[in-house]
Structure 1
Amino acid sequence: MRMRLLALAGATLIATLPLTATTASAATKCPSGKICTWTKPKFGGKKYTYNKESGCHPRSGRSVSNQSGKRITLYKEGSCYGARFEIKPGHYTEKTPWPVQSMAVWG
């Protein structure tokens, strides 16, 4: 009986491991104080890490994590022009509505 309980406990632990490993947030994938973009949705493809310098910057990506402590606005066009959306500090998006071409960092 004891062996059966140990086997059941071990199987339960193993069953939970893949869930824990695959649900890491973008915050854990992007260093504190930085802004990260990925070339593909769901944090796939090549990752780029940026400092939190204020102003308009050329940036590209399909996934974005804002761990900078500053508000950012992402733009569909270059030079911080066109359709846009914001990501607050500590937030992220797994898939942008369109490929990002530029980013404004506020503050």
Structure 2
Amino acid sequence: MRTSRSPRATTTTTLAATVLALTVLIPSTATTAHAAGPPALGACATGQLCLWAKPEFKGTRWTHELSTLDINSCTALPAGTSAQSLTNRTGRPVTTYQSAECAETGEFQTYPGDGVWLPQSPYQVRAFKVWER
């Protein structure tokens, strides 16, 4: 006994077979995206200010402990260097400066100390001040 299929049933079957074939041949982007996960935050312990030379918490890292910093004083990064990302976990406000002397003629910005992760500074950070609360 021979059965005939309608053109619609044939098209549906062909479409389903094509989708199945493509699923096998093309890796799932959902699985790839999930495996990569969200961007990592810069590791920085409580009580520290951490600065990285490159965006996204990469490159050379400078770590400053709150217990060893002079409050309200300008602290410059090593001569000829700058930071492009930072984490403030000092528990105190920190102002970053484009100027190595903490001059307010260049760019500057204050970040609260309750846990700030800044993956990309809008300017090259060359110095900072930690403030009293």
TM range (shorter): 0.7 to 0.9
Equivalent in 50, 53, 58 of residue 76 of structure 2: 58
Gaps (5+ residues) in structure 1?
1-13
Structure richer in strand, relative to its length: 1
Find runs of 4+ consecutive structure 1 residues off by over 3 angstroms: 14-17
Q: Which structure is larger by alpha-carbon Rg, 1 or 2?
A: 2
* CA distances 1:34-84 after superposition (whole Å, capped 9, x unpaired): 000000001111111012221210023110100111100001111111220
- Alignment TM-score, normalising by the size of structure 2: 0.62
Percent sequence identity is 27
Asked if 1:69 is matched to 2:91, the reply is yes
**Which has the larger displacement, 49-58 or 66-75?**
49-58
How many residues align? The count is: 91
State the Cα RMSD in Å: 1.8
Amino acid at match of 1:18: A
Taking the TM superposition and a 5 Å limit, the aligned residue runs for 1:25-104 are: 25-26=41-42, 29-52=43-66, 53=69, 54=71, 55-59=73-77, 60-81=82-103, 82-89=106-113, 90-104=115-129
What SS does the corresponding residue of 2:36 show, helix, strand or coil? helix
CA distance in 1, matches of 2:107, 2:41: 26
CA distance in 1, matches of 2:119, 2:41: 10
Tell me which residue corresponds to 2:16.
none
Gaps (5+ residues) in structure 2?
1-30
- Alignment TM-score, normalising by the size of structure 1: 0.75
What SS does the corresponding residue of 2:126 show, helix, strand or coil? strand
CA distance in 1, matches of 2:53, 2:88: 15
